[in-house]
Amino acid sequence: MNATLEPREVDKPFAQRWLRTTLALFLRSPFRFGILIALLGCLDTSAVNFANGYVVEKVWVDRLGIVALPVLWVLVSAVARGPDDNSLTWQTLSHLGRRSVWTGALSAGVGMAALSWLFHSLFHGFGAVAAHNPPAYLQRQGDFLASVEASVVLIVTYGGLTYCPLLALIPGLPAPHARNLSKKADKINGLVTILTMTGILAIGAVYLASAIPAYGMTTAAFLVFFGVLNYVAYRDIFERRGKNVPEQIMTAQVAALVEVGRSQEM
């Protein structure tokens, strides 16, 4: 394996530095990220409208949220490359046309949703009879996005913090390889620290959404923000670059990683 794909141990403490860098990158291109937030809002509204007149149980929406989150973060990771280095915008977005990117994202979501179903079945019993009048979910805007948000810690635990950026930004990288690299990066830099940071952000987002519901848009903004954080962590760990690009230039590290991806496809 090429050394450029080996994760490194970044300078500590990194949590506050990553958050500051993520916020700076987020504010650098409010239009691009705003579109993603708006699309999430539209998706949430569509889910609520679709469920109108039906009894939809929360547990099934939560599982759908697990599947949706890695797909969202792959998209956010690709979009985040543009504000960081505008010269790579279209080159990076073109990677999203590869089937392996989406199968890798879906495999993580489907796998964790299946595991969630298994644990739920074991806990409640495979032969348990469903309630005659189960409580309905998806009755108000923000419910679907809340289910997506609920799986943040679960997906980071399964794939690691940099799993989705690796899928989106390294052409041809197999999903198992991406997961191994991401998990190795978390272990090198402190798995407990990364999961603690993820948990604190997720809990904080829940309280913020409760205080400022904004029809689910607060949750949508957090999901996109955390996707950008994934990109910032990936860039610091794998590209050896902790700061946002000050000028619109292609770094040697990025060029090397692109060449690595191309060579793997040959």
21 domain-assigned: no
DSSP letter assigned to residue 56: B
53 located within any domain: yes
Per the structure, the complete domain to which residue 54 belongs is given by 28-125+132-265
Per the prediction, the chain carries an average pLDDT of: 88
For residue 4, being part of any structural domain is answered with: no
Q: Does residue 231 belong to any structural domain of this protein?
A: yes
Q: How many domains does the chain have?
A: 1
> CB atoms < 10 A from the CB of 180, how many?
15
Q: Is residue 117 part of a domain?
A: yes
pTM to 2 decimal places? 0.87
pLDDT tens readout for residues 107-119: 999 999 998 888 8
Q: State pLDDT tens for residues 170-182.
A: 988 999 999 999 9
Whether 70 maps to a domain, the answer reads yes
Residue 78 forms part of a structural domain = yes
Give me the pLDDT at residue 197, please: 97
CA atoms within 13 A on the CB side of 168: 29
User: Does 23 map to a domain?
Assistant: no
What does the pLDDT look like over 37-79, one tens digit per residue? 999 999 999 999 998 888 888 999 999 999 999 999 999 999 9
